[in-house]
Amino acid sequence: MLDLLASNPLLLLFVVAAIGYPLGQLNLGGVRLGVAAVLFVGLAIGSLDERLKLPEVLYQFGLVMFVYTVGLSSGHQFFRSWKSKGLRDNLFIGGMIVIAYLFAILAHSFFSIKPTLTVGLFTGTITNTPALAAAIEYLKSVLPEQELAAVVNDPVVGYSIAYPMGVVAMMLAIVFVQRLWRIDYVKELASRHDLAGNHHDITSRTVEITNPEVTNLSVQALIAKYHWPMVFGRYRRDGHVAVTTGATQFMLGDHVSIVGASEVLEKALAVLGQETEDISNDRRDLDYRRMFVSNPKIVGIRLEQLNLPQVLGATITRVRRGDVEMLPTADTRLELGDRVRVIARRADIPQVSRFFGDSYRALSEVDILTFTLGLVLGLVVGSLVLPLPGGVSIKLGFAGGPLVVSLILGALDRTGPLVWNMPYSTNLTLRQIGIVMFLAGVGTRAGYDFVKFLFSSNGLLLFGVGAAITFSIAMLILTIGYKVLKIPMGILTGMLAGFQTQPALLSFALQQSNNELPNQGYAAVYPLALIIKIILAQLMLIQLL
């Protein structure tokens, strides 16, 4: 059986995935490992035979797909974060990486660990393969060939021993603080939506206008004056129902449909008038439909620019993206795969449907041109040599290049006719496939060396020191971030994964929170964290050799 697996990499990949994925669904003391279990199954199977290693290109391809799709979905949030607390968050994570660096230097001095093993320990505790590769390339550039042969494998040894606990210790820290501080991810997500003007409990009410003061203002002026995060839908006047626009001015006795969170609607009712019977059931003139956004021509364009009320006599009252329902605003940009609730005249519904596309089949197709073009740009950027002061050069590599490019493309949405973002469901599917390939590849390639060197004279020492550094740093980040900086735990666990530049940890954080907040934290700090690690790994060798 081992011979068969060693000679058939694809079979090995699917065996690891087939065993690891269902194991990740098991509830172990209230915790599920999720897709991260694939990593540990890969380590176990890889330890059985030195030949059981997936080709490097497989896990590189998986890593590229994973970070690229994460970047696309997080682009808007990443750049928005710099307008608020992005600088603070990146300085915080950057400082924590420097502390991990200092911990490794102290371990080198206190336990007399070889410099080449120390840099492997450092890159393993922060689980960063590009930093390890940068360290090896630096050794090759400064050491004579005979001297290099004796130490070139040391960084890999230190890395392979520290790496597993670099993942596990972080997961244990997350589980520990979740229980210690009784984290409620559902409540946390609801609070984040409230701050953004989007809500998990969107509902509709009908109000009769009885306050004469509001009849002097247009709908646009009303929302600006009272700062209501809600949408005006249809209104009925003298038995006729029409779509509300920003220029609409209500009259006393009008019946108006309003959409938003319950607490917001209560405040609006107190100003506008009194609640009356629901007019949404009156579908003689106006009707409403849920439609898929599958027309690439309208993706990435602000709703205000689409001018739906004037062009189609229609208005959007809700946007559903994945599992999250949002209230549309003038600045909302639709994405492929969104489901919009549209109000329009019954006779115009077919035309409105064609405008949005409303094709589920079209959403199941990947735009191969923009997908591959984006990956090409990412890999080119990752391969560029970036010179730094002191004669040090770095590369962003397979992880950093595609991530940086996808963050930019995700924020742009489109460039002329090219739509960079992809449907939500397609993005998740490719992301899942990518992370499984990456974890299976890393696990099988590290498994044999991990077991071989773990029980050597220095193996247990490196293992213990690496675990201690990782867990200490994790607790520092979670404690300072949550208790001092007041960062929501969902975002903070994503930042922890970004600190580690670790897709497996991000997957675990997503599994724990059951929402997309960890992706925001991950994307916000990952690029800078990656660059800092690559630089510090080379500086460590400069300092210790």
Percent of the chain with pLDDT over 70: 94
Measured CA to CA, the distance from residue 123 to residue 168 in angstroms comes to 15
* Token pair for 316: 């959007």
Average of per-residue pLDDT values in the chain? 85
Percent of residues, the chain, with pLDDT higher than 90: 31
Pair of tokens at residue 184: 């409620």
- In degrees rounded to 5, what are phi and psi of residue 355? -65, -45
Report d(CA 486, CA 480) in Å as an integer.
8
Whole-prediction pTM value?
0.74
Is residue 174 within 8 A of residue 481, CB to CB? The reply is: no
Question: CA 233, CA 243: separation in Å to the nearest integer?
Answer: 6
Q: What is the model's pLDDT at position 127?
A: 84
Strand-pair category, 315-321 with 339-345: antiparallel
Q: How far is CA 100 from the centre of its chain?
A: 24
Determine the 3-state secondary structure of 387 from DSSP: strand
- Residue 385 has a pLDDT of 81
pLDDT for res 435: 84
Residue ranges of alpha helices (H) inside 227-307 are: 262-272, 303-306
484 contacts: CB under 8 Å, gap ≥ 6: none
Distance CA(222)–CA(215), nearest Å, equals 10
Per-residue pLDDT tens digits for 389-435: 766 666 777 777 888 899 899 888 888 889 898 888 888 889 889 98
Residue 417 φ/ψ, nearest 5 degrees: -80, -10
CA distance 199 to 197: 7
Q: Can you list the domains of the chain with their CATH numbers?
A: 195-363 (3.30.70.1450)
Q: What is the pLDDT averaged over residues 374-399? A: 80
pLDDT band at 321 (very low <50, low <70, confident <90, very high): confident
What's the gap between Cα 458 and its chain centre?
A: 37
pLDDT band at 197 (very low <50, low <70, confident <90, very high): very low
**Structure tokens given for 202:** 């969107």
pLDDT of residue 152: 67
- Decide if 502 contacts 127 (C-beta within 8 A): yes
Cα gap 465→454, rounded to integer Å: 12
CB 78 within 8 A of CB 524: yes
Specify whether the CB–CB gap between 432 and 409 falls below 8 A: no
**Looking at 345-354, 436-445, 446-455, which range is the least confident one?**
446-455
Over the stretch 93-146, which tens digit does the pLDDT of each residue have? 999 999 999 999 999 999 989 898 899 899 989 987 778 777 877 787 777 777
**What number of other Cβ atoms are within 10 A of residue 244's Cβ?**
21
Digit-coded pLDDT (tens) for 205-239:
999 999 999 998 999 899 888 888 889 999 999 88
CA distance 101 to 178: 27
| Cα gap 337→344, rounded to integer Å | 21
Specify the higher pLDDT residue, 24 or 107: 107
CA distance readout (Å), 34 to 17, 25, 27, 495: 12, 6, 10, 19
Q: Is the pLDDT at 439 greater than 60, yes or no?
A: yes
Confidence of residue 10 (pLDDT cuts 50, 70, 90): very high
Predicted confidence band of residue 31 (pLDDT cuts 50, 70, 90): low
